[in-house]
Homo-oligomer: A and B are copies of this chain.
Amino acid sequence: MENFTLDTLTALPLFQGIGKSELTQFSTSVPHRIVQYAEGENLAEQDHPCRQLILAFRGTIGMRTRSDNNRFAFYERLQSPVALQPEALYGITPRYTHTYTAQTDIRALIIPKDGVTLLFSRFEVFRLNMINLLSTYIYRQGRWLWHNLSGNTEKHIVNFIHSRSVYPAGEKILEISMEDLGLQINEPRMNVSRALNRLQKENLVLLKRRKIIIPALEKLIQAF
């Protein structure tokens, strides 16, 4: 397995800006381990308790979310380095809200919750990185509700996908029937079907059975 060095750590989202002496202190005083996941293996599962912070530093991860009624699911891809839902460790419901699957071999630094709590108390940079990360996430997530959501059927489809994406670029896959998509965005099935076919003609989406593949979300967003 590739060596995990202190330099790897400084590239991780929550460790950015941390000093050399703090890194040494981390490696000797905070519980952690390096784990390798094989392609296809799950790193974490939706609705399962979250008891550790997973910081992937090598590889590509598929993130999949099932809807509450199991009628649709949404898939996007995360590139390392990435922290898997640090907010899921805390709060009234410390559970993952997405399922994470290794798309390639993954190497990750894993810190148990106790270790993360220790990091907060000892390392100011880690503490502020965490607070900034959560605050930015709340800001971005909350602003959506105050956007102008009006438009034609295509726009409603784009809004539906855009609002559920962590990153507003790259490949996304929405697993849903045209009828169910219509129910979610309040459009008749026929309008949804026509709009999706127009988007397919422009190569903005690719339609499969119960699947809408968006090769590049940034292009779909730019078009509306």
A residues in contact (CB < 8 Å) with B:
65-69, 71, 87-94, 97, 117, 120-121, 124, 127-128, 130-139, 141-143, 145-150, 156, 163-164, 180, 183-187
Contact = CB atoms under 8 A, between A and B. Distances in A.
Given A128-B117, A142-B141, A148 B186 contact: no
B128 A97 contact: no
Contacts of A185: 186
Given A120-B131, A186-B187, A93 B136 contact: yes
Given A93-B136, A121-B127, A141-B141, 10 more contacts: A87-B134, A90-B136, A91-B133, A91-B135, A93-B139, A97-B139, A121-B124, A141-B142, A149-B183, A150-B184
A65 B143 CA distance: 11
A87 B184 contact: no
Nearest to A90: B135
Contacts of A121: 124, 127
18 contacts: A65-B146, A68-B146, A71-B148, A88-B139, A90-B135, A91-B134, A91-B135, A93-B136, A117-B128, A134-B138, A137-B138, A141-B141, A141-B142, A148-B183, A149-B184, A150-B183, A150-B186, A185-B186
Nearest to A117: B128
Contacts of A136: 90-93
Contacts of A164: 145-146
A118 to B, nearest CB: 11
B87 A139 contact: yes
A136 B147 CA distance: 23
A106 B88 CA distance: 34
A130 B120 CA distance: 12
Contacts of A147: 67-68
B117 A148 contact: no
